[in-house]
């Protein structure tokens, strides 16, 4: 593209790139073997410059995957420089510190060539159901117990698959068909993105993306810098305590604004845990920067330029900057809480734009077959399933919170039909949890109640990575807290929020996800809104009276 090309042409190329990466993500979902990718969208996809800078990301995907992937492609190039790559090469890793934070996430990078020269790279990430070891959960004491780690390595060289690597992967996972299929789906979506990119270059008579890349990154960086510079300089601190594994975890942040620079420092947060809830720094950076972007520069495209305007740090050895080989499998149970901490800082700066705390951490149990005891007539078929259940989001400045909605991850709930079709489990109940949203002028979003048992009356195993059981989502500006979550055996004892447990034969597992916090005093909520909640079953009559002072008077109109 010559220097005389009009701004409009560059904008059209940028828009086309966004369409290409979205099709890349949709291809990944259509071809994925893992249910959590195919049904819930637990993935990321994007296109990168030859320098490893993210130019565009798909809308479909999670901030943890997207923003961590944005930092990972440069690490791939550090191991395999551009000059060493050939057409048909595909690289991959699931290293938590080079990828997106734990072993279950595989990142695949594909260089795209035109006339013998690499002109871009496509990257994608998805969550693979099993990587061996103890399985997905928080119980390991180091990375070696958590499964198979693959450093940045070739999956394909000049179009030929590395069969030794594939045999190694298949031999170390519980579901080798799914793992192999997912790696091919990642490769396929990158290949489709590359073909679409080459077609776009032909359409616009371009040789490469260099000038467009400079325009995208420069424009986004400048726009984000302007957004930050419009805010007053200063320091804004906030703290939050969450459940942790056996001991609570303390999260502390100081957000600093100086001119057009913004930084978030997590000094003072808890030290590294002995359990698998530690967070590698790339995942901390991903969710902390997302928390900033929810309020500041949220209309600026997310790419290397806009991400560079926000700096995130955490002390090495802390739970938010855990070094190798710390156990990190359940890093999301802490990392997905970070936007709430950052938004707490921003509530002091732009109070009319910040929601209350929400459930935040998704409730994503891993269900597995139980060891078969002698004399049982229950099927002993191996299964591994990772369904997604969500709690409520915090109330927003002008609206109630969203019920059973994943924020900040954006991962969708997997459908009951799919969960039942892929396992011997039955979901008997799945409904809103009345009164779980924190009371307030704006009510918090509701959690849900889920009841699960084995179809044949057998036992099964659950690995839990739940939070907000001991420390509920807090309300803001006078709003009430959301209801904490719980997990238990029906008619039996309660279970801890994290760790592996056996659900006995014939028993029913009950999970109650947390609600989001409210905003503003409950007394300020309109009678019409309370009446509507009451009629919909979102609030009980007792809570309407005790929390909101609502008394229904026959023959009167609600305001």
Q: pLDDT tens digits, residue range 402-451?
A: 999 999 999 988 899 999 998 999 999 999 999 999 999 999 999 999 99
380 falls in which pLDDT band (50, 70, 90)?
low
Mean pLDDT for the chain overall: 94
The number of CA neighbours under 13 Å toward the Cβ of 174 is 21
Diameter of the chain measured on Cα atoms = 80
Q: Give yes or no for residue 555 having a pLDDT over 60.
A: no
Report the C-alpha gap between 486 and 436 in whole angstroms: 11
Q: Who wins on pLDDT, 283 or 553?
A: 283
Contact indicator for 378, 457 with CB cutoff of 8 Å: yes
Query: C-alpha distances in angstroms, 175 versus 143, 166, 182, 420?
Result: 20, 13, 11, 18
Predicted confidence at residue 4, as pLDDT, reads 42
Structure tokens at 91: 């690289």
Predicted confidence at residue 377, as pLDDT, reads 45
- Residue matched to tokens 């693959």: 150
Dump pLDDT digits (tens) for 517-532.
999 999 999 999 999 9
Structure tokens at 525: 């909520």
| Helix pair angle (176-203, 7-31), 10° resolution | 160
Query: C-alpha distances in angstroms, 397 versus 412, 444, 517, 536?
Result: 24, 11, 12, 22
Predicted confidence at residue 238, as pLDDT, reads 98
What number is the average pLDDT over the span 540-545? 96
Report the C-alpha gap between 331 and 435 in whole angstroms: 29
How many other C-beta atoms can be found within 10 angstroms of the C-beta atom of residue 223? 16
Dump pLDDT digits (tens) for 1-18.
445 457 778 889 999 999
Predicted confidence at residue 405, as pLDDT, reads 96
Dump pLDDT digits (tens) for 307-325.
999 999 999 999 999 999 9
Report the C-alpha gap between 265 and 280 in whole angstroms: 15
374 falls in which pLDDT band (50, 70, 90)?
very low
Give the sheet arrangement for strand 234-242, strand by strand.
234-242, 249-258, 261-265, 310-313
Q: Give yes or no for residue 181 having a pLDDT over 80.
A: yes
Give the sheet arrangement for strand 460-465, strand by strand.
384-385, 366-369, 460-465, 498-503
Q: Are strands 425-432 and 448-454 parallel, antiparallel or unpaired?
A: antiparallel
Q: Which of 468, 549, 547, 555 is nearest to 511 (CA)?
A: 468
Q: Give yes or no for residue 197 having a pLDDT over 70.
A: yes
Q: Give φ, ψ of 258 to 5 degrees.
A: -140, 100
Q: Residues near 384 by Cβ (< 8 Å), separated by ≥ 6?
A: 129, 130, 135, 174, 175, 366, 367, 368
Predicted confidence at residue 378, as pLDDT, reads 57
383, burial (CB in 10 Å: exposed 0-12, middle 13-18, buried 19+):
middle
Q: Give φ, ψ of 291 to 5 degrees.
A: -60, -40
Report the C-alpha gap between 508 and 452 in whole angstroms: 6
557, burial (CB in 10 Å: exposed 0-12, middle 13-18, buried 19+):
exposed
Contact indicator for 324, 97 with CB cutoff of 8 Å: yes
Predicted confidence at residue 372, as pLDDT, reads 65
Contact indicator for 50, 121 with CB cutoff of 8 Å: yes
Q: Who wins on pLDDT, 382 or 228?
A: 228
- Residue matched to tokens 């960086």: 221
Domain parsing of the chain, residue ranges: 7-217, 355-559
Please give the DSSP secondary-structure letter assigned to residue 505.
Answer: T
Query: C-alpha distances in angstroms, 94 versus 19, 97, 130, 148, 429?
Result: 27, 9, 12, 9, 35
């Amino acid at each position: 593209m010559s220097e005389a090309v009009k701004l409009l042409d560059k904008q059209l190329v940028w828009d086309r790139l966004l369409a290409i990466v979205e099709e890349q993500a949709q291809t990944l979902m259509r071809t994925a073997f893992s249910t959590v990718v195919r049904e819930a969208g637990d993935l990321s996809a994007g296109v990168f410059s030859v320098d490893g800078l993210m130019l565009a990301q798909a809308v479909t995907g999670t901030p943890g995957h997207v923003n961590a992937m944005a930092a990972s492609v440069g690490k791939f190039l550090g191991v395999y420089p551009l000059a060493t790559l050939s057409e048909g090469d595909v690289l991959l890793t699931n290293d938590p510190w080079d990828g997106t934070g734990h072993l279950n996430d595989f990142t695949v990078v594909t260089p795209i060539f035109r006339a013998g020269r690499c002109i871009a790279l496509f990257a994608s990430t998805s969550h693979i159901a099993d990587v061996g070891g103890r399985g997905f959960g928080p119980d390991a004491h180091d990375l070696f117990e958590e499964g198979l780690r693959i450093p940045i390595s070739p999956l394909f060289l000049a179009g030929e698959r590395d069969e030794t690597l594939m045999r190694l992967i298949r031999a170390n996972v519980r579901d080798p068909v799914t793992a192999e299929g997912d790696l091919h789906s990642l490769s396929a979506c990158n290949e489709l993105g590359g073909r679409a990119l080459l077609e776009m270059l032909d359409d616009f008579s371009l040789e490469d993306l260099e000038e467009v890349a400079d325009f995208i990154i420069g424009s986004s960086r400048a726009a984000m810098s302007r957004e930050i510079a419009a805010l007053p300089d200063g320091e804004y601190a906030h703290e939050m305590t969450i459940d942790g594994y056996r001991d609570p975890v303390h999260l502390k942040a100081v957000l600093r604004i100086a001119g057009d620079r913004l930084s978030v420092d997590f000094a003072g947060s808890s030290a590294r845990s002995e359990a698998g809830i530690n967070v590698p720094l790339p995942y901390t950076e991903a969710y902390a920067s997302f928390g900033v972007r929810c309020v500041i520069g949220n209309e600026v495209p997310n790419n290397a330029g806009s991400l560079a305007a926000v700096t995130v740090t955490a002390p090495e050895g802390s739970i938010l900057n855990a070094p190798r080989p710390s156990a990190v499998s359940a890093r999301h149970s802490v990392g997905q809480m970070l936007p709430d901490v950052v938004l707490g800082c921003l509530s002091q700066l732009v109070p009319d734009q910040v929601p209350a705390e929400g459930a935040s951490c998704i409730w994503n149990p891993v269900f597995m077959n139980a060891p078969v005891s002698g004399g049982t007539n229950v099927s002993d078929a191996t299964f591994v399933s990772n369904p997604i259940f969500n709690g409520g989001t915090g109330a927003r400045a002008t609206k109630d919170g969203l019920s059973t909605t994943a924020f900040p991850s954006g991962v969708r709930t997997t459908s009951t039909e799919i969960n039942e079709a892929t396992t011997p489990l039955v979901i008997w109940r799945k409904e809103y949890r009345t009164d779980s949203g924190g009371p307030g002028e704006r009510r918090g979003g509701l959690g849900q109640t889920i009841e699960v048992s084995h179809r044949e009356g057998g036992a099964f195993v659950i690995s839990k990575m739940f939070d907000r059981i001991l420390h509920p989502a807090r309300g803001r500006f006078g709003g009430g807290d959301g209801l904490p979550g719980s997990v238990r055996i029906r008619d039996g004892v309660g279970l801890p929020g994290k760790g592996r447990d056996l659900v006995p034969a014939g028993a029913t597992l009950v999970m109650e996800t947390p609600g989001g916090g409210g905003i503003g005093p409950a007394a300020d909520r309109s009678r019409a809104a309370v009446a509507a909640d009451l009629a919909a079953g979102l609030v009980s009559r007792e809570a309407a009276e005790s929390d909101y002072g609502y008394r229904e008077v026959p023959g009167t109109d609600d305001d």
